Amino acid sequence: MATSPVDPALAALKREARTDPQKAVRQAAVEFERIFVQMLLRSMREATPRFDPLVGSAGRMYEGMLDEAWARELSGRSIGLAPLIERQLARNVRSAGPQAATQALEEAGSERAAAFVARMLAPAREASRATGLPAAFILGQAGLESGWGAREIRRADGSPTYNLFGIKAGPGWRGASVEAATVEYVGGRPERRIERFRAYGSYAEAFADYARLLAASPRYAEALAARGEPERFAQAIARAGYATDPAYGEKLARAIRLAQRLA
């Protein structure tokens, strides 16, 4: 599995917040603007009457993907909201010190997690029915592995693989795959590697494959039996070898608790 669950961009911004708070504030402002644009687009869709009876949960999921793509395209350069947010955050930094920049980044990350949970809740519920795991457990692992959607594995042309769980394409995999950089821990030390990962046709396929993986493999039996306790589930997943990061269990438990609050 992919084993770089800590969002490197967010980690870098946190370090930058301690050395260059103003630059970190600028990045946080752009992230807030992107989230605002995405929420605005979603509200506009919800307020528009639907006349096509064939638009179901899958259609709404793809609409959410389109909204997110537009939000990334528009934020920071078209609507002019980011500079206003940046000025407000900068005033907070001047009065409260560099820790205000770090707090702003944390809040932006939480907003991104909330948008991710809302977008992936339907396929997570399908995977929940297949595994018996709460949807929040599944969303937490997808969020941890993908940086709440910010680090989704992509094809060479930039198109999505929909692989939110970092599932590798082993010898028995017969579907599409891509090569991507990841971090593996060897003897407790991180090493950057190029690995081959599974590629899907949709997020629904990715969640269904994750459900099959957990249900079919005996090594995850202990994790499935801990479906009512986030910490036990997370530690069991880590012991089963889902990832090589020595701190994976703790990180997964935190991600699940966040997903439980948001779902």
10-44 pLDDT per residue, tens: 455 455 555 566 666 666 666 666 666 666 655 56
26, 101 Cβ separation under 8 angstroms: no
Specify whether 157 is catalytic: no
The rounded distance, in Å, linking the Cα atoms of 59 and 259 is: 23
Q: What's the pTM?
A: 0.66
Average pLDDT over residues 234-255: 96
Q: How confident is the model at residue 228 (pLDDT cuts 50, 70, 90)?
A: confident
Report the candidate in 177, 250, 222 with the shortest Cα–Cα distance to residue 5. 250
> Which among 20, 107, 184, 250 is annotated as catalytic?
184
Q: Per-residue pLDDT averaged across 256-263, rounded?
A: 92
**Within a 13 Å sphere around the CA of 46, how many CA atoms are in the beta-carbon half?**
8
| 209 annotated active-site | yes
Q: Which residues lie closer than 8 Å to 215 by C-beta, 6 or more apart?
A: 130, 131, 224
CATH of the structural domain 8-262, one choice from 3.30.300.30, 1.10.10.10, 1.10.530.10, 1.20.140.10: 1.10.530.10
d(CA 98, CA 212): 45
The reported pLDDT for the residue numbered 245 is: 94
For position 7, what pLDDT does the model report? 47
What pLDDT is stored for residue 249 in this prediction? 96
What pLDDT score was predicted for residue 208? 98
The predicted pLDDT at position 140 comes to 96
Give mean pLDDT, residues 193-211. Answer: 97
Q: If pLDDT is split at 50, 70 and 90, which confidence band does 4 have?
A: very low
Compute the CA torsion angle 51, 56, 58, 62 (nearest 10 deg). 30
What mean pLDDT comes out for the span 212-222? 96
Residues 6+ apart with CB under 8 A from 142: 116, 120, 124, 164, 165, 207, 210
Instruction: Please indicate whether residue 2 or residue 252 has the higher confidence score (pLDDT).
Output: 252
Active-site residue, from 7, 68, 195, 209: 209
